[in-house]
């Protein structure tokens, strides 16, 4: 297989990540903050036309994950969204965002980590960090091993306005999340405003038409302002999330006339 074209350590990309350090850390500046599962559902329900929580619980039941599932919400506190799945679903949950912990009954564990323990024994950890920074993943790796996360969600809403839209950078983040995901794990992403929709559509087509053991269900709004996906990393899935390859991407850009915003 061709080298994943999206990964690069270029200086330019490092500079883009550095600019994120001045991003909004004050939670009061967000219209949506620590939203409910129902609110996330206003987006994710569209993918399968059923309540996304029901879809996930059904998936966990079929895969014997109830009470053992691990979930991470990137770009959010993840407190309310996972609580509304009910008791006996998750063993451990995480919320990763830039700052502003805003939940009650928060404690510090014996390693000084901010957390909350629920009546059913679920532990929810709050990780303050930038999703584009390696240090954030180092911190997460201390708590979850690679390939052990059953559900990843990301709904940045206004937060995506502060994320560089470079598809190479975003793909490298997606790659990290994919590697954290367990076999049979699910990723629900709201990619609103983050990436060129025609490139994304081409990539989804590429993934679904190959035997990678990965299936992506998607929903896109015609005005192209909404692009929601659910990625299922099946039992037979590849260990790495495939990029389209340099040639295919170059051909895509040539045919579509879209100007790439990264070096390919």
Ligand X SMILES: C[S@@+](CC[C@H](N)C(=O)[O-])C[C@H]1O[C@@H](n2cnc3c(N)ncnc32)[C@H](O)[C@@H]1O
Binding ligand X (rule: CB under 6 A), the pick from 76, 193, 242, 243 is: 76
157/237 with CB nearer ligand X? 157
Q: Which listed residue (5, 57, 151, 157) binds ligand X by CB under 6 A?
A: 157
Q: At its nearest, how many Å lie between ligand X and the CB of residue 206? A: 27
Q: Are 159 and 80 in contact (CB under 8 A)?
A: no
Using the rule CB under 6 A, is 194 a contact of ligand X? no
CB nearer to ligand X: pick between 88 and 99: 99
Q: Does 221 bind ligand X (CB under 6 A)?
A: no
Would you say 25 or 62 has its CB closer to ligand X?
25
Q: Which of 140, 3, 172 is nearest to 72 (CA)?
A: 140
Pick between residue 72 and residue 199 the one whose CB is nearest to ligand X.
72
In whole angstroms, how close is the CB of 45 to ligand X at the nearest point?
Answer: 14
Helix (H) or strand (E) holding 70: strand 69-74
- Whole-number Å distance between alpha carbons of 178 and 84: 24
Contact call for residue 13 and ligand X (CB under 6 A): no
What's the token pair of residue 63? 């895969």
Nearer to ligand X, 95 or 242 (CB): 95
**Radius of gyration, alpha carbons of the chain:** 18
16-75: contacts with ligand X (CB under 6 A): 20, 23, 30, 32-35, 75
85: left (phi over 0), alpha (psi -120 to 50) or beta: alpha
Count of residues that interact with ligand X, criterion CB under 6 A: 22
User: Is residue 140 within a helix (H) or strand (E), and if so which, with residue range?
Assistant: helix 134-141
Contacts to ligand X from residues 87-146, by CB under 6 A: 96-98, 130-132
Compute the distance between CA of residue 205 and CA of residue 144 in angstroms, rounded to an integer: 31
Does 195 contact ligand X by CB under 6 A? no
In what side-by-side order are the strands of the sheet with 227-233?
Answer: 107-108, 114-117, 123-128, 90-97, 69-74, 149-155, 181-190, 227-233, 214-220
Interface region with ligand X, contact rule CB under 6 A, candidates 47-55, 115-123, 159-167, 225-233:
159-167
216 is written with which tokens?
A: 């992506």
Q: How far is the CB of 184 from ligand X (least distance, A)?
A: 24
Provide the binding-site residues for ligand X, judged by CB under 6 A: 20, 23, 30, 32-35, 75-76, 96-98, 130-132, 155-159, 162-163
């Amino acid at each position: 297989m061709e080298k994943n074209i999206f990964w690069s350590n270029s200086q330019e990309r490092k500079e883009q990540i550095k600019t994120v350090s001045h991003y909004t850390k004050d939670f009061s500046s967000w219209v949506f903050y620590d939203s409910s599962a129902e609110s996330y559902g206003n987006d994710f329900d569209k993918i399968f036309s059923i309540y996304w929580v029901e879809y996930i619980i059904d998936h966990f039941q079929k895969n014997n994950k109830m009470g053992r599932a691990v979930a991470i919400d990137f770009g959010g506190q993840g407190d309310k969204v996972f609580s509304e799945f009910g008791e006996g679903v998750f063993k451990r949950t995480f919320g990763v965002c830039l700052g502003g912990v805003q939940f009650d009954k928060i404690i510090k564990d014996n390693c000084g980590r901010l957390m909350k323990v629920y009546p059913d024994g679920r532990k929810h950890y709050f990780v303050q960090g930038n999703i584009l920074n390696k240090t954030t993943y180092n911190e997460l790796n201390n708590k979850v091993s690679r390939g052990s996360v059953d559900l990843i969600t990301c709904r940045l809403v206004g937060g995506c306005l502060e994320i560089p839209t470079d598809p190479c950078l975003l793909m490298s983040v997606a790659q990290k999340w994919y590697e954290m995901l367990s076999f049979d794990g699910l990723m629900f992403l709201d990619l609103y405003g983050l990436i060129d929709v025609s490139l994304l559509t081409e990539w989804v087509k590429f993934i679904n038409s190959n035997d990678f053991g990965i299936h992506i269900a998607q929903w896109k709004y015609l005005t192209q302002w909404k692009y929601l996906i659910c990625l299922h990393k099946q039992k037979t899935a590849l260990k790495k999330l495939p990029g389209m390859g340099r040639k295919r991407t170059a051909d895509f850009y040539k045919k579509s006339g879209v100007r790439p915003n990264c070096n390919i």
